[in-house]
């Protein structure tokens, strides 16, 4: 098989795997009422989603580093198999505790699907092509945002909620077969050091931190203040220990030298801010439409479609123009669209036209697609093969961490009036304050863009670095 056809087949396999990981975040939400009704677990409602995200966030940088040590193909296969096993078990669950445990297994595998595909694309393609391919891959997340709720609704209504988990199996197996048969990756037979102390300290520390943030989002968080403080203290101790371990480890899970690279450190900082803004837009704009404007859930879903259209469009545009205009210019343009959208949210009132709101969401989606895709290309191009997995893993981790921190902190500012009925006036006032902070953060993003280096090392291309993965 020719290099081109092999490369194309591997890319298709990665697109399929990325789509499965991306759609999982939206398709399950649609099925939640049916799941809790059948399994009688409304009290554990949030944990079905939270445990999956916790496991994914924690394993993302770990898979990135392990792919540097043991090869992309091998770690992708391991992660995909764990994800598919978790999917099958979730479909077979007969109780809420079982489903929560199986979703955790699914999340442990999803960390590979959200990180390694971007790393492999960085290995397979030279800079000019890499941007286009990663642009299309980034657009998959926007496409999944549109199709997830629709697919979930159809499967729940006409098949079963279990089908949303079973559907991963045929697509996942096809992706695995394509990758196994088409991707060749040589590996040197030598003893590899695995940073078990670092993995342990990082996993426990991040679990304690993210669990504390999860509790913080609960309505009765005040009653759990002692538990939250204890978890945060444990997280601080464990993550300090992790930093100490990483400084002395011969193969650290998150190489600290990455953060000495101006490109990596700046991109991670901006990605963190962008993803705080991103998660607030995704979660709080529907709340504005339903609670302040008094529209239905279906109406708010339709009104949010421009965000899901703008994101993949921005990703595709970034992929096509990065090689011509440079990552810095594309990301800077994205930040201008972000400010335009954020200012629009800031000036919204209960009388603002829904058409204007949809324009603001489209501009925000366009900015996320342009900026985040540019950063993915920058991260994969700023380092050599040996560090690429860890670099991509750390950036994806920072993005998800930004979303997690954002939803927790802004949740403290949200005021719906009471737990039984939404007070539209109080909700509007609290959301207005949140949108003002969003505007300030968007300005900080713009200013931080000025710190980006003017050029990316445009060829740490893997054709020579990797073991000829495309041959």
pLDDT, tens only, 401-456: 888 888 778 877 877 765 556 677 888 898 999 999 999 999 999 999 998 887 65
User: What band does 83 get if pLDDT is binned at 50, 70 and 90?
Assistant: very high
Q: Residue for token digits 């009688």?
A: 40
Least confidently predicted of 169-178, 221-230, 249-258, 380-389: 221-230
Quick check: 415 and 301 in contact, CB under 8 A? no
Residue 119 lies in a domain: yes
For residue 379, how many C-alpha atoms fall within 13 Å in the half-sphere facing its CB? 36
Residues 416 and 283 reside in one and the same domain: yes
The Cα–Cα gap between 240 and 249 comes to: 14
Domain total for the chain? 2
Residue 320 burial (10 A CB sphere; 0-12, 13-18, 19+): middle
Kindly state whether residue 11 falls inside one of the protein's structural domains. yes
Tell me, yes or no, whether 151 and 276 share the same domain: no
pLDDT in tens, 196-247: 899 999 999 998 998 888 787 666 666 678 888 999 999 999 999 999 999 9
- CA–CA gap between residue 67 and residue 113 (Å, rounded): 12
| CATH number of the CATH domain containing 149 | 1.20.1250.20
What does the alpha-carbon distance between residue 20 and residue 151 come to, in Å, rounded to a whole number? 12
Q: For the beta carbon of residue 180, count every other beta carbon within 10 angstroms.
A: 12
Residue 343 lies in a domain: yes
Q: Which domain holds residue 173?
A: 1-183
Q: Would you say residue 314 lies in a domain?
A: yes
Establish if 179 belongs to a structural domain.
yes
Encode pLDDT of 241-267 as tens digits.
Answer: 999 999 988 888 888 888 888 899 999
Label residue 125 left, alpha or beta by phi (over 0 means left) and psi (-120 to 50 means alpha): beta
Q: Is residue 272 domain-shared with residue 173, that is, in the same domain?
A: no
- Asked if residue 103 has pLDDT above 70, the reply is yes
């Amino acid at each position: 098989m020719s290099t081109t056809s092999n490369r194309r087949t591997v890319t298709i396999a990665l697109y399929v795997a990325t789509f499965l990981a991306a759609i999982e975040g939206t398709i399950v939400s649609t099925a939640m009422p049916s799941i809790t009704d059948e399994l009688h677990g409304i009290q554990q409602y949030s944990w079905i989603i939270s445990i999956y995200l916790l496991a994914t966030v924690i394993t993302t940088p770990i898979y990135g580093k392990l792919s540097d040590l043991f090869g992309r193909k091998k770690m992708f296969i391991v992660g995909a198999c764990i994800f598919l096993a978790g999917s099958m078990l979730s479909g077979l669950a007969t109780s809420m505790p079982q489903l929560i445990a199986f979703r955790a297994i699914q999340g442990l595998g999803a960390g590979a699907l959200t990180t390694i595909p971007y790393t492999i694309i960085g290995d397979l393609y030279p800079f000019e092509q890499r941007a286009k391919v990663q642009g299309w891959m980034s657009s998959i997340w926007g496409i999944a945002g549109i199709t997830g709720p629709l697919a979930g609704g159809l499967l729940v209504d006409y098949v079963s909620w279990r089908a949303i988990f079973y559907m991963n199996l045929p697509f996942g197996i096809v992706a695995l077969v394509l990758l196994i048969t088409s991707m060749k990756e040589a590996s040197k037979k030598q003893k590899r050091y695995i940073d078990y102390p670092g993995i342990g300290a990082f996993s426990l520390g991040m679990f304690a931190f993210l669990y504390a943030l999860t509790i913080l989002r609960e309505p009765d968080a005040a009653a759990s203040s002692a538990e939250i403080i204890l978890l945060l203290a444990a997280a601080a101790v464990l993550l300090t220990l992790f930093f100490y371990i990483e400084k002395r480890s011969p193969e650290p899970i998150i190489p600290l030298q990455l953060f000495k690279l101006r490109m990596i450190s700046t991109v991670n900082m901006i990605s963190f801010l962008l993803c705080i803004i991103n998660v607030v837009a995704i979660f709080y704009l529907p709340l504005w439409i339903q609670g302040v404007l008094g529209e239905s859930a279906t109406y708010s879903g339709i009104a949010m479609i421009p965000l899901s259209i703008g994101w993949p469009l921005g990703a595709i545009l970034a992929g096509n123009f990065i090689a011509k205009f440079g990552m810095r210019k594309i990301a800077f343009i994205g930040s201008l669209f972000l400010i335009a959208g954020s200012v629009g949210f800031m000036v919204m009132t209960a009388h603002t036209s829904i058409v204007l709101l949809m324009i603001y969401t489209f501009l925000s989606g366009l900015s996320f697609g342009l900026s985040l895709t540019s950063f993915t290309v920058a991260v994969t191009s700023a380092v050599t093969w040996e560090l690429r997995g860890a670099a991509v893993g750390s950036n994806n981790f920072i993005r998800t961490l930004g979303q997690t921190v954002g939803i927790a902190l802004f949740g403290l500012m949200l005021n719906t009036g009471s737990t039984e009925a939404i007070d539209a006036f109080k909700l509007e006032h609290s959301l207005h304050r949140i949108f003002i902070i969003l505007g300030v953060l968007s300005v900080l993003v713009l200013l931080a863009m000025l710190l980006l280096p003017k050029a990316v090392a445009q060829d740490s291309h893997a054709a020579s670095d990797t073991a000829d993965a495309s041959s």
